[in-house]
Amino acid sequence: MQRSLQIDPGKCTGCLQCEMACSYENEGVFNPARSRIKVFTFHQEGRFVPYTCTQCDEAWCMQACPVDAIVLNAATGSKDILEDVCVGCKVCTIACPFGTVNYNSDTGKVIKCDLCGGDPKCAEACPTQAITYINADETGFDRMRAWAGKSDNQPRVQ
Partner 1 sequence: MKHVIIGAGPAGVVAAETLRKLEPESDITLIGDEPEPPYSRMAIPYYLENKIDAAGTHLRKSADYFEQNNIEVLQSRIDAINTDKKILTPDTGEQINFDKLLIASGSSPVKPPIEGMDLPGVHNCWTLADANQIIDRAKPDAKVVLMGAGFIGCIILESLVSRGVKLTVAEMENRMVPRMMNEQSGTLLKQWCENKGVTVLTSARVSGIEKGSQHPLSVVMSVGGALPADLVICATGVRANIKLCEESDIETKQGILVNEFLQTTHPDIFAAGDVAQGRDFSTGQYSVQAIQPTAVEHARIAATNMTERREHLHRGSINMNVLDTLGLISSSFGDWEGLKGDDSCELGDNDRFRYLNLQFQDDILIGANTLGLTQHIGVLRGLIQSKTRLGKWKNKLANDPTLIMEAYLATVQGQA
Ligand X SMILES: Cc1cc2nc3c(=O)[nH]c(=O)nc-3n(C[C@H](O)[C@H](O)[C@H](O)COP(=O)(O)OP(=O)(O)OC[C@H]3O[C@@H](n4cnc5c(N)ncnc54)[C@H](O)[C@@H]3O)c2cc1C
Does 91 interact with ligand X (rule: CB under 6 A)?
yes
Q: In this chain, which stretch among 14-22, 23-31, 86-94, 116-124 interacts with partner 1, using CB under 8 A?
A: 86-94
Selected from 75, 87, 94, 134, the binder of ligand SF4 by CB under 6 A is 87
Selected from 10, 88, 108, 140, the binder of ligand SF4 by CB under 6 A is 88
Does 49 interact with ligand X (rule: CB under 6 A)?
no
Does 28 interact with partner 1 (rule: CB under 8 A)?
no
Residues in binding contact with ligand X, number by CB under 6 A: 2
The rounded Cα 102 to chain-centroid distance in angstroms is 10
Does 95 interact with ligand X (rule: CB under 6 A)?
no
Which residues neighbour 132 within 8 Å (Cβ) at sequence distance 6 or greater? 5, 6, 8, 123, 126
Does 106 interact with partner 1 (rule: CB under 8 A)?
no
Strand 131-135 and strand 3-7: pairing? antiparallel
Does 72 interact with ligand X (rule: CB under 6 A)?
no
Selected from 7, 20, 22, 92, the binder of ligand SF4 by CB under 6 A is 92
The site for ligand X (CB under 6 A) is made up of 89, 91
